[in-house]
Amino acid sequence: MVNHKTVQLSWSWQLNALPEEIWPFITDTNRLFKDLKQPSIQKVHITQSVDQDLIQLSYNGINRYEVWEEEPFEWEYPFRFGVVRHYQSGAFKDLKIQVDLKENGKGSRLIVKLWAIPRNKLLSFWTTLKLKTMVRGRFKNVIATYDQLAISDRQHYQIANNKGLVRGGEKRLRQIKEELYNSQVDGAVLERLIDFIRRADDLELQHISPLKLAEQWNLSKEKVFDVFIHAAKANLLNFNWDLYCPSCRSIQESVKTLNQIHEPIYCDHCEQEFKVNFNKTVQLSFTPHPLIRKINRGQYCIRGPQQKSHVVLQQYLKPGQKRYLMTDLKSGEFILRSTQSKGAAMVHVDQDGDDTVHVNISPSGLTGEEVHVANSPNLSIENTTDKNQLITLERKSWSLHGVSAARATSSQLFRNLFANEVLRKGEKISVDNLTLMFTDLFDSAGMYNEEGDDKAVGQVIDHFEILHKVVSKENGAIVKTIGDSVMAVFCEPDQALRAYLRAQKIISDDERFTDDFQLKAGIHQGSCVAVNLNSRIDYFGSTVNIASRFVDYASENELIVSQKVFSKYNLQEMLEESDNKGRVEDMNIRLKGFDKESFSIKRIQISDSPLRLAI
């Protein structure tokens, strides 16, 4: 976009932080443009004939009349990012912004470059003067703040002053705080949460993640999440279910309740529909209750690098263009895609990979090729098609900081306090990697005959209470009871195993239970389907059926776990460290309803305690 009329500006500052340390701050362009005191923006429809990779935007401010088409941001983690805008009105016809980070002995050199083609000489003079003075000064101050945050490992709100609450908010906050203390929530976590609500700005409060804050505070994720649930029930917080596109991983919808989810969901950016998944595409986020603090939901940038933080490289290449790129990749698996080409390529990154790699986006597209590259490769990408191509290299693994719907609905506390959070009747939502545990009593009919109905029923009810406590302690949830049997869900198999071992230990040591009371269980993990059954979230599918068949196969004081789950989650080590010393036996079995399939299992016999103590 450079010609004889182009205005070129360049500013440079020395930073203490390394490129990878300052990258999360400087590439959060939604915050960057807000901190540079730019107005909030909105999507508009200027013309119908626009490249699908471009978006049409304008400022919200009534005194700002700029309207533009914006090309996709380009970036090379952690060294460079930039964007190009084509204005329909305003001082410039075109504007390009590029930020470079170069590591040196003192930290990093940050270089900001601007190229602008003016619309006319008068507007060009005044706008260029503004860029050289006001905008440069703002950039300098903002970057100095980001550098301070990066090297001190602090967040924006931690250096901010308290923000004002709504009228009457202080009184409500005191009442809620007292109520939560009376509920015996973790006081230290609650104080941090209240401090965050007071000091964080609107951007930080739009989608609060308890898990992300737990990491920043170096606190237990479970404790922080529990406080958030209590705070939502007490009207200190509200929550929403954010629906993420599995391809671009951006939020496409936010709904207040699970029963507002209706498949399929349409992604505006990818221009395709997607199915909802409780693990990946539905995340629970929080905001302050509006009677405590109101927030402005304005956006200042829509498609910056931090809004697609799983993407380490993004390039927008016109037909025939070729780029030489620099990046620094962690070892692992990545996926290379292009918007106007079919397919994808798998990129394996490790220290033994190729140092020099050329990628050609051809008319035939990407056909599942596998490439091995070094961590800091000399990478070139060429577009040999006749279309503009948006090329991305993204991490294969899915890692969002929000609480997944699977995790939330596997919490007994969440189910207890928000029992009305269920799906619409008839809606079926996929859940990946959910752990199911079924428990039952061995020879319960014999126990009833031996003990009599009254005493046997008392023991059954007492054992339900024990299971409820141990399952809740392991951040799981009781889905339902079926006769003497219990169905429970967890996020991980180790939680289920610990819950069962604890239940066994308590029952074994408790004099309320006779020797005829023998608890058995089956644990399995896999995909299933969540539905609304009897106004609660229930689960169906092969994983559920297998777990229920496992408990049927178990004998007295036995636990059945699939060989695959037992090995993958190193459950042997947990057994050896527990007080319940058990005997583990390898077996291959066939289950009812799965006649054509053989299952490799671990049959774990839990040794009984010689003493039963009153608790």
The C-alpha torsion from 164 through 193 and 301 to 275, rounded to 10°, is -130
User: Model confidence at 61, in pLDDT bands (50, 70, 90)?
Assistant: low
Is 422-606 a domain of CATH 3.40.140.10?
no
Interval 565-597: pLDDT, tens: 999 888 888 888 877 667 899 999 989 888 888
d(CA 472, CA 589): 31
Residue 576 in tokens: 């050896």
Domains 7-154 and 422-606 fall in the same CATH topology:
no
pLDDT over threshold 90, residue 306: yes
Domain ranges of the chain: 7-154, 159-305, 322-395, 422-606
Indicate the CATH number of 7-154 among 1.10.357.10, 3.30.1330.60, 2.60.40.10, 3.30.530.20.
3.30.530.20
pLDDT over threshold 70, residue 155: yes
User: What are the beta bridge partners of residue 481?
Assistant: 486
Interval 14-27: pLDDT, tens: 999 999 999 999 99
Residue 97 in tokens: 């912004």
For residue 398, count other CB atoms closer than 10 A to its CB. Answer: 15
Q: What is the mean pLDDT of the chain?
A: 91
d(CA 188, CA 227): 10
- 362 three-state secondary structure: coil
pTM: 0.90
Exposure of 301 in the CB half-sphere (CA atoms within 13 A): 26
What pLDDT is stored for residue 330 in this prediction?
93
Which range (108-117, 279-288, 603-612) has the least confidence? 603-612
pLDDT over threshold 50, residue 485: yes
What pLDDT is stored for residue 610 in this prediction?
42
Cα distances from 607 to residues 499, 557, 575, 581, in angstroms, run: 16, 8, 12, 6
Which range (95-99, 179-183, 511-515) has the least confidence? 511-515
